[in-house]
Amino acid sequence: MGKQTAKHFAKHGWNVAATMRNPKKETELNTIANIKVFELDITQPETIQQAMTEVIAEFGKIDVIVNNAGIGMYGALELTPDTDIDRQYAVNVKGVINVIRTFLPHFRQQHAGKFINISSVMGRSTALPLGSLYNMSKFALEGLTEGLYFELKPLNIDLHLVEPGGFESNFGENVTFSKSDTIKDYDIITSRVEATLKASQKPSATANPIMIVKTIYDLATGKSNALRTVVGKDAKTVLLLRKMLPIKTFLNTLGKRFMH
């Protein structure tokens, strides 16, 4: 999705700074005239600062930041090692904080700028069992963004949240499932959730990521000024059910097909 977003903006005449941990591996974006690739790891603040310096030197200023990086740690909390818990928070929450804090002085000095944070329907509601850590990270991102509104609005700095459901991506390939060779109580629900998550990333089962890309573009250009934008039928259905049903009824309905 990040790559499609970069290409979409470039196609519409924007200068795009595409960032990634290993830019030497990128072969496509480097060939597009108004896209330049920079090295950046959101868990390493010094790389963010270096990238910002290089981007401003290349393009003069920055108008919009899209916080798109994210990972998913799934599985029973009891089985999840501390390192996975810390990494889930470090990427999905602290990483976004690192980016915002680095670029805020630039936005503040020019009295303009936008942060578009890619959240998830799971930032508003659980949508899949065994996602407590991923839920936590996206709930935190929602709270961070909403809380920042008050301090950034007077500076003419906008904040937006994009909340997709399932969409075709390589996210499923990067999901880590916590498992145990000795504790078997979670095996059934884990196998069912893992199969569901993999199936949800197939093109026939999910939204086309271009829907999300266009949402990001509309926010960047001011066509939309929404704080939150839900993308995808599945995401909208989950949030509608959550709104309509008592919370325990909603959770039991959601989890029924995954339980014993």
In the residue annotation, 149 being an active-site residue is answered as: no
Residues in Cβ contact with 140 at an 8 Å cutoff, skipping those fewer than 6 apart: 89, 92, 93
Residue 102 CA, chain-centre distance (Å), reads 18
Is residue 167 within 8 Å of 205, Cβ to Cβ?
no
Tokens representing residue 148 in the block: 């920042």
Q: From residue 141, give the alpha-carbon distance in Å to each of 15, 163, 166, 211, 255.
A: 27, 11, 18, 21, 24
| Residue pointed to by tokens 């005239």 | 33
User: Do the bridges between strand 175-178 and strand 157-164 make them parallel or antiparallel, or are there none, so unpaired?
Assistant: unpaired
For residue 179, which of 162, 167, 168, 194 has the smallest C-alpha distance?
194
Options 74, 134, 186, 217, the catalytic residue: 134
> How many Å apart are CA 197 and CA 202, to the nearest integer?
9
Q: DSSP of 186-239, one letter per residue?
A: THHHHHHHHHHHHHHTSGGGSB-HHHHHHHHHHHHHTS---SEEEESHHHHHHH
Which residues participate in catalysis according to the annotation?
Answer: 134
